[in-house]
């Protein structure tokens, strides 16, 4: 009896049209996300060698592992590291494509990584992003922080070069002289 009542019930055309439009919009969003996922997979496949190189470079030494991880399941640590490397590569890819909003979200998340080398690379990429957006003063601050706070990393050497580029853009001769002298003193060309 109830089934007959439902079948006879009619809905206004406007309500039907509104629901149909919402369905079409949802379908379009789904297709866009599906395409992004396919492109994401392609990006990861294209960067397999690069990903392996980063894994080897970023693999934490036993002393670098947080104390809570020592003696723990290394598969979990490897999984976390692999996931963060993938995120770093996706962020770099987004930066190359000038998708600054997507890239900044990824790099800000990675700044809280448990791995020092991931954190410093994320911070460096934020500096590169700011430089691309012609925010030279902010980029220079990020690069200087890397030089001062993350000097253990090879990224600090690249950051010195980028501080020089920012100082040139901003015409800050004192900063330019300081970093050029530093660069020349410690890294003389042979």
Phi, psi of 40, deg, nearest 5: -60, -45
Q: Kindly give the confidence (pLDDT) of every residue in the chain, 190 residues in length, as a single tens digit, with 9 standing for 90 and above.
A: 454 554 455 667 777 677 667 767 766 766 666 666 555 545 555 456 666 666 555 554 444 445 444 455 566 667 788 888 889 989 998 899 999 999 999 999 999 998 888 999 999 999 999 999 999 999 999 999 999 998 878 888 899 999 999 999 999 998 888 888 776 565 554 3
60 DSSP assignment: P
37 with 121, same domain: the answer is no
The whole-number pLDDT of residue 31 equals 66
Instruction: Determine, yes or no, domain membership for 56.
Output: no
Q: Report pLDDT for 142.
A: 96
- Residue 24 and residue 108 in one domain: no
Residue 116 near residue 64, CB atoms below 8 Å? yes
Closest CA to 51 of 18, 93, 17, 20: 93
Rounded Cα gap, residues 125 and 79, in angstroms: 22
Whether the full predicted model's pTM is greater than 0.85, yes or no, is no
Which segments within 35-167 are labelled E, that is strand?
Answer: none
Query: Which domain does 23 fall in, by range?
Result: 11-46
Specify if 63 maps to a domain: no
Closest CA to 122 of 153, 160, 91, 93: 91
My answer on whether 16 and 110 are in the same domain is: no
Distance CA 58, CA 118 (A): 7
Q: Which two tokens stand for residue 156?
A: 């600090």
151 alpha carbon, distance to own chain's centre: 21
């Amino acid at each position: 009896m109830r089934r007959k009542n439902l079948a006879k019930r009619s809905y206004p055309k406007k309500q039907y049209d509104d629901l149909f439009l919402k369905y079409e919009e949802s379908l379009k969003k789904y297709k866009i996300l599906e395409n992004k996922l396919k492109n994401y997979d392609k990006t990861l496949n294209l960067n397999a060698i690069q990903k392996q190189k980063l894994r080897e470079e970023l693999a934490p030494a036993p002393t670098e592992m947080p104390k809570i991880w020592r003696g723990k399941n290394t598969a979990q640590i490897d999984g976390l590291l692999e996931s963060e490397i993938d995120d770093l590569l996706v962020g770099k890819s987004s930066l190359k494509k000038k998708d600054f909003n997507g890239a900044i979200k990824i790099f800000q998340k990675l700044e809280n990584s448990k791995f020092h080398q991931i954190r410093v690379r994320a911070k460096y990429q934020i500096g590169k992003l700011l430089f691309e957006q012609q925010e030279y003063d902010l980029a220079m601050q990020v690069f200087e922080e890397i030089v001062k706070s993350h000097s253990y990393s090879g990224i600090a050497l690249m950051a010195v070069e980028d501080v020089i580029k920012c100082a040139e853009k901003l015409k800050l001769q004192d900063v330019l002289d300081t970093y050029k002298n530093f660069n020349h003193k410690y890294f003389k060309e042979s």
